[in-house]
Each structure stands twice: as structure tokens, then as C-alpha cells.
């Protein structure tokens, strides 16, 4: 008598073919970074709007299809407002920063030159410290800002990437909001009956934890950007909008993000003719924001979701950065969550199989 029944063999074959198809799709996606950004943006949109759709269903009895339609209206309406009002505003701020950068860089190089010539730090930083800093970092800043401005203003040259991110992502989100339960049922139809319940629980746990993590990181980004902007404005610092956006976005990068976000405003303060307390105040502002983020927001929003050893996170971030660059760093922790949930239930799946 065969160990597997005919139905079990068909189920196993279905799971095997589904796994191969999934791996093939993932491999194709990994070769196409704009598509990855579109999928990630779609996941962010889905997880941001899903709680609203659920509440509309529970409280007002509004169907998921109507909620998905509402999402499209809100998204494309918000996108039109953003392109018409926010994009020109940010572009003008970037242009002002780019115009002021040469004087900042020249002033900062003069101060670094003093370190080379007779400062007490000179023996520790080497004779060619200023040259290295200028060649490897400072000289590239105007070009990088110019590239960002070019991306924001030259729509035609980036039409393909913009199409994928701002058109494909909301369309994917529309269908995941409207037919998410159908997709889930179709996926689970490939699962053998003896492990159906545990796999269904795993899928639910992954959806909940990854979704909650995405929403938590989004809230942390808004928090950091908003309070950095308020703090820099109160200190009377120029370019507060651009620096706040930069700080909020870089905060998404584990470990190094907050440090990277604090470097530009401190460097600009050092480059200007500012009293010594200004760079210290900016450093204190960023430290205070990170303390609140680390000791209040993270325990409340993230720690209950992510229970992963810091060493595993560090290794995952390094591997993700090597494979996909910044994109890999951003998705490293969600992938860790997924793998952790699967491995935590693997023994139970094996016992049921």
C-alpha cells in the first residue's frame, strides 16, 4: 500500500508546482528593482488602508469593493494634490539648498584645513584628511542633489519607473483590498488537509505581524520627520523641510539611519558662522527624537511585533544591503519576521505531515 494516497500526491504536487512558480516569480522580480519598489509601495498602501476598510465594513457595512474604490479616489486625488503643490515646493527647497551648498562646502573645508594644520586632532586624522573628505564625500553632494532634482522635475526620463510605482502599485492595492480573501483561499487550496489549519494560522500571523510592522515604521517615519522639522524651525535653521524629510526617510534604515539623518544638519551648522552651541543643540534635538522613538514608540509599536535577536537583524541587514542595496536594508526585517514565523511552526507542520 502506497504511503501517500492519490489525493495526497496531488496535493503535494500542487504545493511543489506552486512553490516553483513562486520562486520563479520572486527571481524575476529581484532582477527588476522598479517592480520591487512598486510591490513594496503597494504593500505600504494596503497595510495603511486595510484597517480603514475593516472598520468601514464592521461599522457601516461598506463592502470591500466599495472600500477599494474609495482607496483609488483618495490615492489619485492625493497624488494630484502632491504633484501640483508639494512637488514644486520641495523642488524649490532643494534648489535653494543646492545653490547654498558651494559656500557651505568651502567654509567646511576651511575649518577642516585648520584641523590639518595645527588642531589637537591632527595627529589622529592624518595629513590628507581634508582632501579625502572633499574628494570622497563633499564634492559629490551637489551632484546627488542635482540628480534628485532631475528625477523630480524630468518626468519623461523616469516615466517607466514612475508608471510602475504610481500606477501599478495602487492597482495592485485595489485588488488586494477587494479580493484579498479570495487570494488567500486560492493559496490555501493547495495546502493538504492535514496541515491546512496550521498553515492558515501561519498566513494570518504573517499578514498581521508584517502589516503591523509596516504601519509602525510608517508612523515612526512621520514622527521623526515632523519633530525634526519643528525642532530645526524653532532653532531657526535653514532648509528644515529638506532635512526633516531626509531624517524621516533615513530613519527607516536600521541602526545607521538615525546617524545618517543627523549628519547633514550638524555639518551645515559647522560650516556656517554659527556659535558652538548650535551644532550641539542640533545633535541634542536628534538625540531627543531618537530617545523618544527608541524608548517610547519602538516598545509600543515594534517590540511587541518583532522578537528577533539584534545579531540576526544586523546580519540580515548586511546581507540585504549586499544583494539589493538600500532596498534590501529596508525589507530585511520584514523578511526576518516571515522566516521566524515559518521556522517557529515548522516542527508542528512536520509532526502533522
Query: Highest-confidence range of 32-41, 181-190, 285-294, by mean pLDDT?
Result: 285-294
**Co-location of 59 and 155 in the same domain:** yes
Instruction: Spell out the long-range contacts of 103-112 with Cβ–Cβ below 8 A and sequence spacing 24 or more.
Output: 104/267, 104/268, 104/271, 104/272, 105/134, 105/138, 105/139, 105/141, 105/142, 105/271, 107/271, 107/272, 107/273, 108/138, 108/267, 108/270, 108/271, 109/133, 109/134, 109/138, 111/270, 111/271
Confidence at residue 3, expressed as pLDDT on a 0 to 100 scale: 44
**Co-location of 132 and 170 in the same domain:** yes
Confidence at residue 285, expressed as pLDDT on a 0 to 100 scale: 93
**Co-location of 138 and 67 in the same domain:** yes
Tell me: pLDDT of 260 over 60.
yes
Report if residue 149 sits inside a domain. Answer: yes
- Mark which of 125, 145, 179 sits at the end of a domain: 179
Averaged pLDDT score across all residues of the chain: 76
Half-sphere exposure of 327 (CA within 13 A, CB side): 15
Confidence at residue 269, expressed as pLDDT on a 0 to 100 scale: 84
Cα-Cα-Cα-Cα torsion 26, 28, 34, 35, nearest 10 degrees, comes to -60
pLDDT for 12-23, tens place per residue? 555 555 555 555
pLDDT for 95-108, tens place per residue? 787 777 777 777 76
**Co-location of 42 and 175 in the same domain:** yes
- Mark which of 160, 179, 198 sits at the end of a domain: 179
Confidence at residue 2, expressed as pLDDT on a 0 to 100 scale: 46
**Co-location of 69 and 137 in the same domain:** yes
Tell me: pLDDT of 284 over 90.
yes
**Co-location of 152 and 100 in the same domain:** yes
Report if residue 168 sits inside a domain. Answer: yes
- Mark which of 179, 208, 224 sits at the end of a domain: 179
Sorting pLDDT into bands at 50, 70 and 90, what band is 227?
A: very high
Report if residue 305 sits inside a domain. Answer: no
**Co-location of 2 and 57 in the same domain:** no
Confidence at residue 9, expressed as pLDDT on a 0 to 100 scale: 47
In terms of Cα–Cα distance, which of 5, 1, 45 is closest to 194? Answer: 5
Report if residue 143 sits inside a domain. Answer: yes
Report if residue 302 sits inside a domain. Answer: no
Which range of residues forms the domain containing residue 6?
Answer: 1-28
**Co-location of 93 and 53 in the same domain:** yes
Confidence at residue 231, expressed as pLDDT on a 0 to 100 scale: 93
The pLDDT > 90 percentage for the chain reads 10
Sorting pLDDT into bands at 50, 70 and 90, what band is 42?
A: confident
SS3 178: helix
**Co-location of 155 and 141 in the same domain:** yes
Report if residue 237 sits inside a domain. Answer: no
Report if residue 129 sits inside a domain. Answer: yes
Total domains present in the chain: 2
Report if residue 227 sits inside a domain. Answer: no
**Co-location of 14 and 110 in the same domain:** no
Helical spans, DSSP H, in 119-195: 122-125, 129-136, 141-153, 159-163, 169-188
Query: Highest-confidence range of 36-40, 220-224, 316-320, 341-345, by mean pLDDT?
Result: 220-224
Confidence at residue 69, expressed as pLDDT on a 0 to 100 scale: 92
pLDDT for 59-87, tens place per residue? 888 888 899 999 999 999 988 888 888 87
**Co-location of 36 and 126 in the same domain:** yes
The pLDDT > 70 percentage for the chain reads 71
Task: Note the residue count of the chain.
Answer: 353
Sorting pLDDT into bands at 50, 70 and 90, what band is 120?
A: very low
Would the pTM of this model clear 0.95, i.e. be above it? Answer: no
pLDDT for 27-36, tens place per residue? 555 555 677 7
**Co-location of 71 and 12 in the same domain:** no
Confidence at residue 132, expressed as pLDDT on a 0 to 100 scale: 59
Amino acid at each position: 500500500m502506497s504511503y501517500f494516497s492519490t489525493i495526497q500526491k496531488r496535493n503535494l504536487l500542487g504545493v511543489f508546482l506552486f512553490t516553483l512558480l513562486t520562486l520563479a516569480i520572486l527571481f524575476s522580480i529581484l532582477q527588476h528593482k522598479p517592480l520591487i519598489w512598486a510591490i513594496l509601495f503597494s504593500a505600504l498602501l494596503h497595510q495603511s488602508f486595510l484597517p480603514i476598510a475593516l472598520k468601514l465594513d464592521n461599522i457601516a457595512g461598506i463592502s470591500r469593493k466599495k472600500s477599494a474604490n474609495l482607496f483609488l479616489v483618495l490615492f489619485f486625488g492625493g497624488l494630484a494634490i502632491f504633484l501640483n503643490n508639494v512637488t514644486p515646493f520641495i523642488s524649490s527647497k532643494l534648489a535653494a539648498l543646492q545653490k547654498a551648498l558651494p559656500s557651505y562646502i568651502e567654509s567646511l573645508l576651511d575649518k577642516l584645513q585648520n584641523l590639518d594644520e595645527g588642531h589637537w586632532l591632527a595627529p589622529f586624522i592624518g595629513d590628507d584628511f581634508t582632501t579625502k573628505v572633499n574628494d570622497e564625500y563633499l564634492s559629490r553632494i551637489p551632484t546627488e542633489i542635482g540628480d534628485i532634482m532631475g528625477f523630480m522635475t524630468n518626468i519623461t526620463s523616469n516615466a517607466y519607473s514612475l508608471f510602475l510605482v504610481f500606477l501599478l502599485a495602487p492597482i495592485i492595492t485595489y485588488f488586494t483590498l477587494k479580493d484579498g480573501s479570495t487570494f488567500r483561499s486560492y493559496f490555501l487550496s493547495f495546502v493538504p488537509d492535514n496541515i491546512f489549519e496550521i498553515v492558515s494560522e501561519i498566513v494570518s500571523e504573517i499578514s498581521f505581524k508584517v502589516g503591523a510592522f509596516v504601519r509602525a515604521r510608517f508612523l515612526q517615519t512621520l514622527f521623526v520627520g515632523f519633530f525634526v522639522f519643528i525642532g530645526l524651525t524653532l532653532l531657526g535653521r535653514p532648509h528644515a523641510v529638506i532635512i526633516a524629510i531626509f531624517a524621516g526617510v533615513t530613519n527607516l534604515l536600521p541602526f545607521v539611519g538615525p546617524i545618517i539623518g543627523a549628519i547633514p544638519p550638524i555639518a551645515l551648522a559647522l560650516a556656517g558662522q554659527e556659535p558652538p552651541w548650535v551644532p550641539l543643540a542640533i545633535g541634542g534635538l536628534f538625540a531627543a527624537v531618537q530617545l523618544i522613538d527608541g524608548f517610547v514608540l519602538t516598545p509600543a509599536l515594534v517590540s511587541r511585533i518583532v522578537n528577533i535577536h539584534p545579531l540576526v537583524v544586523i546580519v540580515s541587514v548586511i546581507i540585504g544591503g549586499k544583494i539589493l542595496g538600500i532596498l534590501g536594508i529596508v525589507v530585511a526585517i520584514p523578511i526576518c519576521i516571515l522566516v521566524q514565523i515559518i521556522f517557529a511552526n515548522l516542527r508542528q507542520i512536520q509532526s502533522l505531515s
